[in-house]
Amino acid sequence: MAEMIEGHGGDLALAALRAYGVTEMFTLSGGHVFPLYDAAHKSGFPIYDVRHEQSAVFAAEAVAKLQRRPGLAVLTAGPGVTNGISGLTSAFFNASPVLVLGGRAPAFRWGSGSLQEIDHVPLVSPVTKYAATVTGTEEIPGEVAKALTAALTAHRGPAFLDLPLEVLFSSEDVAAPGAPEIPVVQPDPEQVTQAATLLATAERPVIIAGSDVWGGDAIAELRAAAEALQIPVFTNGMGRGALPPGHPLAFAKARRPALNEADVVAVIGTPLDFRLGFGEFGAARVVHIVDAPTQRAGHVETAVSPAGDLRLILTALAEHSGRRADHSEWIEGLRAAEDAGKARDAEAMAAESDPIKPARIYGELRKVLAPDAVTIGDGGDFVSYAGRFLEPAQPGTWLDPGPYGCLGTGLGYAMGARVTYPDRQICVLMGDGAAGFSLMDAESLARQELPVVIVVGNNGIWGLEKHPMQAMYGYDVAADLQPGLHYDRVVQALGGAGETVEKSSDLGPALERAFDAGVPYLVNVLTDPADAYPRSSNLA
């Protein structure tokens, strides 16, 4: 006989969540969701709270991205849920298995004008894989299981459930949920063989690997495939660091020559979107390897597009036994371009200038970051530089907002990262504009003893908007911030610490102090507002 669980809706939800490996919730208080808090409080399930609901969803997303298991945000009815929609949308674009549990005005008097009465489901349906209202207390475990199964099935993504007040507060005695069963998407073996043949026989093949390779736990299989077929690998998103920086097939700087000259480009686990020039690589044939048929590109013609579990597909590529072209000359040529790019970067990262240029900040940061440090980008130009100058040494350590490009992920992602890794360096690279979205959560981090380092590239402008607007119109509006502001003092006022840096020689010691501080610490670096990230193409 199935084991029974008994309790109010909060107890039932938590029992189901635990079965799927959820170990904490991120939330901002509201009476509609009290039973979820009660269940957590009684059973020692950690609750982390924030100052804006979007930080709760971003924190849950960081947990989902870093740990490849569901992240949970609990949001109160109405504005709690609507404040979380940018977070849900980011999770949707990033294939992050986030579950948002929302409170909901009582069903029994729906339409009478209860506080915060709104039907959330139509609002969140377009940006979730599963969205439903739970109509009875006894249905809670089954609905949580359905939502999490959808979230964890490739192509992964967020799910949403809302729980009417009386459904969550009532008690029931129901069967405990069984062990999770996540379906594996089987690729078509013909297509996989076709892809393997194309790559093995190409003269100048390139692999670009993205977030789903990490999310699908296929990093080792990617490496095996690249090594077996001898193909240079570029990465983006959570794929960064998939091959360690010193690996003979790991490339970052030679992207332009690689994509201009390649005859076959395999894009694995990432969409053919603006980050990849929409999948047009000159004369190259494109192999698009995706984790589910829904992810095949509709806007560009591909040579072949195997869809299914990336571990299975990449293992098949590694085991391909047909004819292979020799790629060593191609790899050597790219290595020369890579080395030249690295030398240029090293020069920029060491350059003295007054005011400081962002490149120098990353030069100093690289000296103090441990190989397993988690770095988080939240901003415009300052984060483009982070993407260029920081080289994650391990996969699953770089968090960017992804193709939805939502500013404001910073401190939410930092909270999720700190909860995931209590002892690693966690470092947010933040624009001064981006700081406005989440800096208040320095209070949440300080109060809950979650130290992180925040490095603000403070150019006094919305740089990524001001420079293009100047170039386009010869003037700019709505692109200025107050120059020289002391964002470090904001964090000090909220229970953390920090300092302002104006000279490049002061950067190193300031960063050392920041990582040793044991409290949220903001290093406010005044940078050159005239410096603009060079954007000559949408491959940036």
Site for ligand TPP, rule CB under 6 A: 379-382, 405-408, 431-434, 457, 459, 461-465
Residue 459 sits at φ, ψ, to 5 deg, of -100, 0
* Cα–Cα distance measured from residue 272 to residue 270, given in angstroms and rounded to the nearest whole number: 7
Nearest-approach distance from CB 458 to Mg ion, in angstroms: 7
Instruction: Kindly state the helix (H) or strand (E) to which residue 72 belongs, with its residue range.
Output: strand 71-75
Residue nearer to ligand TPP on the CB measure, 280 or 476: 476
Taken in order 162, 165, 171, 172, the sign of the CA dihedral is: negative
Nearest-approach distance from CB 413 to ligand TPP, in angstroms: 14
Residue 303 sits at φ, ψ, to 5 deg, of -70, -40
Nearest-approach distance from CB 52 to Mg ion, in angstroms: 20
Applying CB under 5 A, which part among 235-243, 244-252, 426-434, 523-531 lies near Mg ion? 426-434
The answer to whether residue 459 forms part of the interface with Mg ion (CB under 5 A) is: yes
Nearest-approach distance from CB 461 to ligand TPP, in angstroms: 5
Long-range pairs, 178-183, Cβ under 8 A, ≥24: 178/2, 178/19, 178/145, 179/19, 180/19, 180/20, 180/145, 180/148, 180/149, 180/152, 181/149, 182/149, 182/152, 182/153, 183/149, 183/153
Cβ burial, residue 52 (10 Å; 0-12/13-18/19+):
buried
* One-letter-per-residue 3-state SS of 133-148: ECCCHHHHHHHHHHHH
Residue nearer to ligand TPP on the CB measure, 162 or 364: 364
Residue nearer to ligand TPP on the CB measure, 87 or 380: 380
Which residue's Cβ has the minimum distance to ligand TPP? 431
464 binds, among ligand TPP, Mg ion, none (CB under 5 to 8 A by kind): ligand TPP
Residue nearer to Mg ion on the CB measure, 189 or 483: 483
Residue nearer to ligand TPP on the CB measure, 433 or 451: 433
531: left (phi over 0), alpha (psi -120 to 50) or beta: beta
Size (the chain), residues: 540
Nearest-approach distance from CB 467 to ligand TPP, in angstroms: 8
316 binds, among Mg ion, ligand TPP, none (CB under 5 to 8 A by kind): none
Residue nearer to ligand TPP on the CB measure, 295 or 459: 459
Applying CB under 5 A, which part among 88-96, 109-117, 288-296, 459-467 lies near Mg ion? 459-467
Site residues for Mg ion, 463-482, by CB under 5 A, read 463
The closest of 451, 540, 537, 534 to 494, measured between CA atoms, is 451
Residue nearer to Mg ion on the CB measure, 375 or 459: 459
Nearest-approach distance from CB 409 to Mg ion, in angstroms: 16
85 binds, among ligand TPP, Mg ion, none (CB under 5 to 8 A by kind): none
The SS3 of residue 75 is strand
218 binds, among Mg ion, ligand TPP, none (CB under 5 to 8 A by kind): none
User: Count of CB atoms within 10 A of residue 313's CB?
Assistant: 29
Q: Which residues bind Mg ion (CB under 5 A)?
A: 431-433, 459, 463
